[in-house]
Amino acid sequence: MINLSMNQRVNLELAFRKKYAWSSFHKHRRTLLNHDISLALRLKLFDSVVSPAALFCLHVLPLNKSQLTSLGACQRRMLRSICGWRRIDGEDWEDTMRRMKQRVQVGMMLHYVMSWEERLHRALWSYTRYLTQCKQTSPWCTVIRWQPDAMHDASLTQRPRRTPGRPRKRWDDDVKHFLQAKFESTSNWLDLACVHYGSLHNCEDEFIVWMMADT
């Protein structure tokens, strides 16, 4: 499914990924919800078949806070179903959710399932390191360095400028802001990543903490 609309493509892709994740979940429902099987094994199965279906290529989409929150809510709903959803008559909804949260936490002690938000951030950082290893003359590196407002065509009557209003978030904005703050520079983030490539591996956890705090 391809959609190039600037206003709709992110929402459409995110909705498709969540739909595909639920499809994968229901495909393995009999195993995931089978309490005769170890909870650790069922969580491991969930992490092997459902999480990849939900997160495929989402790390290169400019997801905002509300979209990441909806993705996390989808994961938590699935995990509650796997750990065992129980509703007690007359129990307050807050008490039910608190009890279910504790059940999920116990399940995480058996087999830790990384949050989808954190997995997306780690995938984005891994992709950043991959781009620094590519040939700098490759098309994607050229596009990253491309700055339309810095180009000038003599045939134009006025200098190019972006439309008024708040600019849309781009997929690499978070990487750019982190690297520029980390190395105290305003240079292109890809150039910074190439110069400081040796320290990028040690910056991964710092980037995750920065992203989780920001979102």
Q: What is the pLDDT of residue 1?
A: 62
Question: Along the 215 residues of the chain, how does pLDDT read in single tens digits?
Answer: 677 777 788 999 999 999 999 999 999 999 999 999 999 999 999 999 999 999 999 999 999 899 999 999 999 999 999 988 777 777 787 888 888 888 888 889 999 999 999 999 999 999 999 988 888 788 878 888 887 766 666 777 777 777 788 778 888 899 999 999 998 888 888 888 888 888 888 899 999 999 988 65
Q: Give the number of C-alpha atoms closer than 13 A to the C-alpha of residue 6, restricted to the C-beta side.
A: 4
Task: Give the global pTM.
Answer: 0.84
Alpha helices in the chain (DSSP H): 9-27, 29-32, 39-55, 65-83, 93-110, 116-133, 139-145, 173-182, 189-195, 197-200, 204-214
Q: What is the pLDDT of residue 25?
A: 96
Each domain of the chain, given as residue ranges in start order, spans 9-113, 119-153+166-214
105-110 long-range contacts (CB < 8 A, ≥24 apart) are: 107/39, 107/40, 107/43, 107/79, 107/82, 107/83, 110/38, 110/39, 110/40, 110/43
Question: In terms of Cα–Cα distance, which of 189, 186, 177 is closest to 213?
Answer: 177
Residue with tokens 């810095």, as numbered in its chain: 150
Q: How far apart are CA 191 and CA 46, in angstroms?
A: 38
